[in-house]
Amino acid sequence: MSVGLDLVYASQVACEQTWPGKNRQERYIDMAQITMSEMLKAGLHFGHQTRRWNPKMKQFILTQRNGIHIINLFKSLDMIDKAYDFIKQTVAHNGTVLFVGTKKQAQEAVQNQATRVNMPYVSERWLGGMLTNFQTVSTRVKRLKELEEMDFTDVRGSGLTKKELLLLEREKDKLSKQLGGIRNMNRTPSAMFVVDINKEALAVEEAHKLGIPVVAIVDTNTDPESVEYPIPANDDAIRGVELLTSLMADAVAEGLLDHAGKGAKAEDANAQPMAAWEKELLTKESEQSDNEAKAE
C-alpha cells in the first residue's frame, strides 16, 4: 500500500496547519517518547480503503488518496499521550496491563514487549471466558504449572507408560500455547492494551463486562467509541504495531519505577540488580536530559 512520499510529507504539513495543539508538554506531564518522523516511517498514517471505513473515525481522518484514508497523526499523537499517561498511572498504583494481539502482525510485538516489562499477554487465540470466567481459566493455569514440573523422559520414575507421558506432554504444550502468557496473572487486569479491536472483539467485550478500561490501536475501519483510550493508527503495519506496543510497554516500565519508588527504601533499591527495562529507560531519560541541556 504505497501512496507516495509526496503524500507522506504533504499529509504531515497539512496536519501541522490544521492541528492547533502543537505543544504537547503543555498538555501532558507524562509524554510518550515518539516523533512524527517515526510514525510516518512506520506507516501509521495509512488507513483502510475508503469503502471499508467506519464513519465514527471521521474526526481522525485527514484526507484520502487513491481510495485510501490518511489518518491525521497529530490527533493520533494526542491520543497516544493520553493512553501513555493512563497506563503509567495505572501501573504506578499497582495495576496490571494485559497486552492482547493475536493477528500475525501483532503476535511477536505483544509477546516481546509484555515480557520485557513482566506483564501478561495473549498472542494466540483468545479463549472465551479468559476474563469473565477467570476462576476456571486459573484452574487450567494451575494444571499447566503442574505439568511443567513433570519430567516426561523419566518413564520408570513416573510410573506411567510412554504413551501416557506423551499425551501429558502434548497437553502441557497445548496449555502453554494458550495460557503461557497469563500463567502469572493472579487476578483480572486493571487495564488492557489491544491491537485491532475488530479482531479482538471478544476480548474487548469481556473487558467491558468487568469494567476494565481498554487502550487500543483503532484503524479507519473500527469504532473508536468502543474503547476508553483509542489510538488512531494503522493496525496492520508490523513496524507500526511494534512501535506503539513498545511505547505502551515503556509506559508500564515508567509506572513500575514510580510504584517501586513509592514503596521501597533507596537502600533496598540499590541492593537489588537493575532489570534490563530499567537500564534501558534510565538511559533514554539521561540522553533526553543531555539533549535538552545542549539545546538550552
Pairing of strands 214-218, 229-232: parallel
Averaged pLDDT score across all residues of the chain = 84
Contact in structure between 226 and 203 (CB atoms under 8 Å): no
Lookup: cell for 232 = 488512531
Most confident of 4-18, 178-192, 270-284: 178-192
Q: Please provide residue 83's backbone torsions phi and psi, each rounded to the nearest 5 degrees.
A: -65, -40
Report domain extents, the chain. Answer: 5-128+188-266, 134-182
pLDDT of residue 93: 96
Contact 87, 255 (CB under 8 A): yes
Q: H or E element: which one contains 46?
A: strand 46-49
- Tell me what pLDDT residue 264 has: 55
Range with lowest mean pLDDT among 24-38, 62-76, 184-198: 24-38
pLDDT score of 296 = 56
As a whole number of Å, the end-to-end CA separation of the chain is 41
Determine which helix (DSSP H) or strand (DSSP E) holds 142, and give its type and residue range.
Answer: helix 134-148
Could you tell me the pTM of the whole model?
A: 0.80
Q: Which residue has the cell 475508503?
A: 50
The rounded distance, in Å, linking the Cα atoms of 193 and 157 is 44
Torsion of CA 193, 196, 197, 199, to 10 degrees: -120
Task: Let me know the angle formed at the C-alpha of 203 by 201 and 204, rounded to the nearest 5 degrees.
Answer: 65
Q: CA Rg, the chain, in Å?
A: 22
Do the beta carbons of residue 243 and residue 39 sit within 8 Å? yes
**Phi, psi of 187, rounded to the nearest 5 degrees:** -150, 165
Distance CA 110, CA 115 (A): 8
Q: Which of 128, 281, 114 is nearest to 201 (CA)?
A: 128
Phi, psi of 147 (to 5 degrees): -65, -30
> What is the greatest pairwise CA distance in the chain?
75
Listed residue (127, 124, 130) closest to 107, CA to CA: 124
Contact 83, 248 (CB under 8 A): yes
Q: What is the pLDDT of residues 234-258, one digit of tens each?
A: 999 999 999 999 999 999 999 999 9
Instruction: Enter the CATH code of domain 5-128+188-266.
Output: 3.40.50.10490
CA distance 242 to 105: 9
Q: What is the average pLDDT across 63-79?
A: 94
pLDDT digits (tens, 9 = 90+) for 186-217: 999 999 999 999 999 999 999 999 999 999 99
Instruction: Please state, in angstroms and rounded to a whole number, the distance separating the CA atoms of residues 87 and 96.
Output: 9
